[in-house]
Amino acid sequence: MQNKLKIINDPVHGFIRIPHEILFDVIEHPYFQRLRRIGQTGLLNLIFPGATHTRFHHALGAMHLMFTALETLRQKGIKISEEEEKGAMLAILMHDIGHGPFSHALENMLMDDWHHEKLSLLLMNKLNEEFNGELSVAIEMFQGKYHRKFFNQLISSQLDVDRLDYLNRDSFFTGVSEGNINTQRIISMMNVCSEGELVIDAKGVYSIENFLAARMFMYWQVYYHKTSALAEFLLVKILQRAKYLVSEGMDLPAGENLRYFLHRAKSSATDEDIYRFTQLDDNDIIHAMKSWQNSEDFILSYWCRCVIQRNLPKTIISTRPFEKEFIEEKIKKTNEFFGIDNGKELVHEIKRKLLPYDTEKQPIYLLKKDGEKIRLEESQDQLLSGLVVHKTARYILTFPREISQIIS
């Protein structure tokens, strides 16, 4: 009989245990193995060459942190059954199972407005049938419907184990040290209050503030870096353009499963849609872009060359929207330089906004020694929380690099 209680060596967390056989069975399933071929950070490796880690890495790391968090809570006297432990670990293990190629960038392009969480739930239900209902508790927790609220919060909240893993992991692989957080310290401060909610022991206030600040820096320095934002934007535009050209009757070379989605009309998801989706990964998109570099459509070939050859368009970043006249001038120059009349397709303003800590949506609570529960931003000890409750925005204008030489 096969030993399923394996140990995995992870570059971020060290050795990760698989304490339940069902976890191993889910990891071995083709739905989960596909995550080995889905990048965690899209095209970030064009900017940070080390960022080639995958959703597979991240899901295992989040599962490990969930196990650590539950052990911590047990030591503080919180009763957690083996069934609940399995459920929580399965839920976080599968939380990204519905991610499409290049993660967030393309999820709406392939399956209309199907968010990855909707697809994750759909795939979880399919797996639950295969595993004779063993994932039922996990699905309840993933949906935020479990009767003990702290389980739902460990999976999805402003301080969940998903964020704890991806911040550290992305910081590690990009080499951006500002995102490095002390996950062990944060987890050791976790507790459950009398109402059954996840809270942080009050003495952990600075670790939480450091976490919120690290997340803010990672967004502006990595995820929303102007070239990162551009690369993600280009992926969306490439797929949009390809779908448009196919709808106009052009025959674009693509793998069988990607071709299926390029030709797919808007509709609710069918069994074939789901099957095809689980066969898609980053390689299908890369292969298509390599081929489309030679497309007769100038816009599509231009964008694909930009990505594949890493000759990206020029970007300018600003804290306020760009003047309409300034954008029109870029479009005019683009038309003149390339001898085209649809230069507006190559000039775009991209907006990115961030609220590092939302005090209304699942606020973070601190638990004082006397049992009183207070909001993080209300703590007399807080230093930064007042600064991370404001929304910030950046505007990025992108246009062909070729015309930057001829603009006065």
pLDDT 10s digits, 249-282: 999 999 999 999 999 877 777 888 889 999 999 9
Q: What is the pLDDT of residue 103?
A: 63
Q: What is the pLDDT of residue 74?
A: 97
Q: How far is the C-alpha of 71 from the C-alpha of 31, rounded, in Å?
A: 28
Q: What is the pLDDT of residue 156?
A: 95
Q: How far is the C-alpha of 387 from the C-alpha of 376, rounded, in Å?
A: 12
Which amino acid, one-letter code, is at 248? E
pTM for the structure as a whole: 0.94
Q: How many CB atoms lie within 10 A of CB 374?
A: 15
Mean pLDDT of the chain: 92
Q: What is the pLDDT of residue 408?
A: 45
Parts of the chain with a pLDDT under 50: 407-408
Q: What is the pLDDT of residue 407?
A: 47
β strands within 243-310, DSSP E: none
Q: Which residue has the tokens 């102007």?
A: 226
Please list the residues that pair with 314 across neighbouring strands.
399
CA Rg, the chain, in Å? 23
User: CA neighbours within 13 Å on the CB side: how many for 154?
Assistant: 35
- Measure the CA dihedral 224/227/231/234, to 10°: 100
